[in-house]
Amino acid sequence: MSTYTIITRPDPVSEELGRTTDRELQEHGFVRDDLKPDTVFVIGGDGTYIHAVHEVLRRVGKWFSNVRFYGIHTGTLGFYTDYRDSDYREFMDTFFSGELKEKRYRLLQMTAEGMKHHAINEVRIENPYRTQIIDVYINGEKFETLRGSGVLVCTQLGSSAFNRSLGGAVIQEGLDFIELTEMSVIHHSLFRSLQSPIILKPETVIEFRSANFSGAVLACDQDIYSLEGLNQVTVSSAKDIHVRVLSGREVSYFDRLKTLF
């Protein structure tokens, strides 16, 4: 028996659509299981989708590798969904027919002393209180020292989010890269850094070291953690975990870009 759970954005349209989806799935013999779902129905926007990935990862643990995500957008068309709420009938009929394709996306993984977290969009270090000095190492080799408000590492999916607002490059769908982008970095005659975003192979390991991360926070998508007392953060692609996304129809990546931007 196939199992499912539903995660909705807390607004009237999304919640009503969630109740409708719940009833219809049960009428078709599916069983709701919030701890070991085969499919997670995400109803809302891209932010809801990212929240759902984190919530399910925390909730189900090792079962995550069995979970597929299937989303419908109750606003504009997003990067994680192929359907709007006006397409609900097609959305459900396609699911019941089994005519779905599965896409797999890498997660970023960050590790530090006593911490290990994941992100689908980006990992970033930010210090809102003072200039943060960070030594950047790529695959164990010292690359640069930057001075500014922080640094961001994103996936292809996340390249069009916070990364884009920092002047980072938008990476086309299907290109399996990660991107490193500086945040409000200071440059003058005494010290300089690359100042340009750099796109890296997915197997790249990036280390951020500092004598003092006091006041700095680590953000893994929407989740925020303190870096107080730490001196090193490592970011890489997760080797043993992917997000499995169900796709019901082909939507041009550039149509998505034009719709959103």
The CATH number assigned to the domain holding 117 equals 2.60.200.30
CA dihedral for 34, 35, 39, 40, sign (positive or negative): positive
Find the angle CA(175)-CA(177)-CA(179) to the nearest 5 degrees: 130
Is the domain of 113 the same as that of 236? yes
Same domain, yes or no: 66 and 128: no
Find residue 125's DSSP bridge partners: 151, 218
For residues 177 and 230, state if they share a domain. yes
For the question of residue 46 being annotated catalytic, the response is yes
- Per-residue pLDDT in tens (0 to 9) along the chain, 261 residues: 599 999 999 999 999 999 999 999 999 999 999 999 999 999 999 999 999 999 999 999 989 999 999 999 998 767 888 899 999 999 999 999 999 999 999 999 999 988 999 999 999 999 999 999 999 999 999 999 999 999 999 999 999 999 999 999 999 999 999 999 999 888 776 777 878 999 999 999 999 999 999 999 999 999 999 999 999 999 999 988 999 999 988 888 888 888 777
Task: State the pLDDT at residue 1.
Answer: 58
Position 143 scores a pLDDT of 95
Please report the sign of the dihedral spanned by the C-alpha atoms of residue 174, residue 178, residue 182, residue 183.
positive
Q: Does residue 24 form part of some domain?
A: yes
Q: What is the pLDDT of residue 58?
A: 94
Q: Are residues 113 and 218 in the same domain?
A: yes
127 and 88 in a common domain: no
Burial class (CB within 10 angstroms; exposed 0-12, middle 13-18, buried 19+) of 242: middle
Measured CA distances, 121 to 8, 37, 79, 86, 233 (Å): 19, 23, 11, 27, 17
Shared domain for 67 and 143, answered yes or no, is no
| pLDDT at 92 (0 to 100) | 97
Is 205 domain-assigned? yes
Count up the domains in the chain and report the number. Answer: 2
Which CATH number do you get for residue 87? 3.40.50.10330
Please check whether residues 113 and 92 belong to one and the same domain: no
Among the options 11, 34, 38, 46, which is catalytic?
Answer: 46
Say if residue 18 is in the same domain as residue 90.
yes
Summarize the chain as % helix, strand, coil (round to 5).
25, 40, 35
Q: Is residue 188 part of a domain?
A: yes
Say what the pLDDT of residue 75 is.
80
Whether residue 235 sits in one domain with residue 142: yes
Give CA separation, 260 vs 161, 210, 255, in Å: 11, 37, 9
3-state secondary structure at position 30: coil
Instruction: Provide the domain limits for residue 206.
Output: 108-240
| Residues 6 or more apart in contact with residue 121 via CB below 8 angstroms | 50, 154, 155, 157, 158, 161, 162, 221
pLDDT of residue 80: 87
**123 and 93 part of one domain:** no
The answer as to whether 232 is a domain residue is yes
pLDDT for residue 247: 92
Q: Are residues 151 and 225 in the same domain?
A: yes
Give the pLDDT of residue 257.
83
So what's the pLDDT on residue 78?
A: 76
Residues 137 and 233 in one domain: yes
Residue 154 lies inside a defined structural domain of this protein: yes
pLDDT at 193: 81
